[in-house]
Amino acid sequence: MRIATTIFLTDETVTPVRLARELEQRGFAGLYLPEHTHIPVSRRTPYPAGGDLPREYGRTLDPFVALGQAAAVTERLTLGTGITLVAQHDPVDLAKQVATLDHLSGGRFTLGIGYGWNVEEAADHGVEWSTRRELARDRMALMRALWSAEPTAYEGEFGSVQASFAFPKPGQAPRGPVVGPRTLIGGGAGPKLFAAIAEHADGWLPIGGRGLTESVPKLRAAWEDAGRDLKELQVVPYAVLPDPGKLAHYAELGIEEVVLQLPPAAEPEVLRVLDGYAAFL
């Protein structure tokens, strides 16, 4: 099983360069970074985990800039977002960022996407909360048009793009309906999410990895109903606090990669946690 990591990198934590070098030297498989552009002070949305919203949410580094630094100082470490809030981006610009990072890293990039939870943050981007899933779906389709091998036009409900020259291209060849980098969708188990995964992704990023015994068979059924090859489905438990029993259970479910949570801390504390996680490599 590949052991990757995720962390809220901020202006107060270990730097992307130091962390990426330490991860690769120690044999970890990858680094995934979350995204929040800003957190409105007068927000009304409760923190999903309960209690006060942790400090790091309002101080998060831009994941593409940070992962670009990580790519420049590593050769094997995979790089990903967990997650990119697609609805909050201009899709033409985002398609260029994704393709450039994948190209410069030698095809090491995973695009983890999701729909978000902070209504106020999304509103400042002009996102209508009730249609954010449809908006994200539309923007992913537009980006796939730009990533296609030949100039391809797209006309959607929320946006359009003319047939265009758009380089560089992401490194991976198309996989069924998926064009672009490895794409995983985060979110809670359910028919809508599983239909989206089967339609335009390579797999699922379930946060915390709870309830997979019940949910993975349902995802596999949705995947097969969409005519996709079951051998290609990827389930990657995300932001996991590990123990041997949990990882053994994931292995029994056929899971090949897990993403462990690192603390949003300075270098000494992060390295201490990595020393502990080394037992799982």
pLDDT of 141 reads 98
Question: What residues contact residue 224 under an 8 Å CB cut-off, 6+ apart?
Answer: 230
Tell me how far apart the 2 most distant CA atoms of the chain are, in Å: 51
Q: What is the mean pLDDT of the chain?
A: 97
Tell me the H-state helices in 151-232. 191-200, 212-225
Assigned token pair, 195: 């239909």
* pLDDT at 43 > cutoff 90: no
pLDDT of 84 reads 98
Rounded CA separation 245/91 (Å): 41
Rounded CA separation 14/98 (Å): 24
Rounded CA separation 247/257 (Å): 10
pLDDT of 20 reads 98
Q: What confidence tens digit (pLDDT) does each residue in 106-158 have?
A: 999 999 999 999 999 999 999 999 999 999 999 999 999 999 999 999 999 99
Closest CA to 64 of 47, 86, 48: 86
Q: What confidence tens digit (pLDDT) does each residue in 226-259 have?
A: 999 999 999 999 999 999 999 999 999 999 999 9
Rounded CA separation 59/279 (Å): 31
pLDDT of 130 reads 98
pTM: 0.97
pLDDT > 90 fraction of the chain, expressed in percent and rounded = 98
Closest CA to 211 of 188, 183, 193, 184: 188
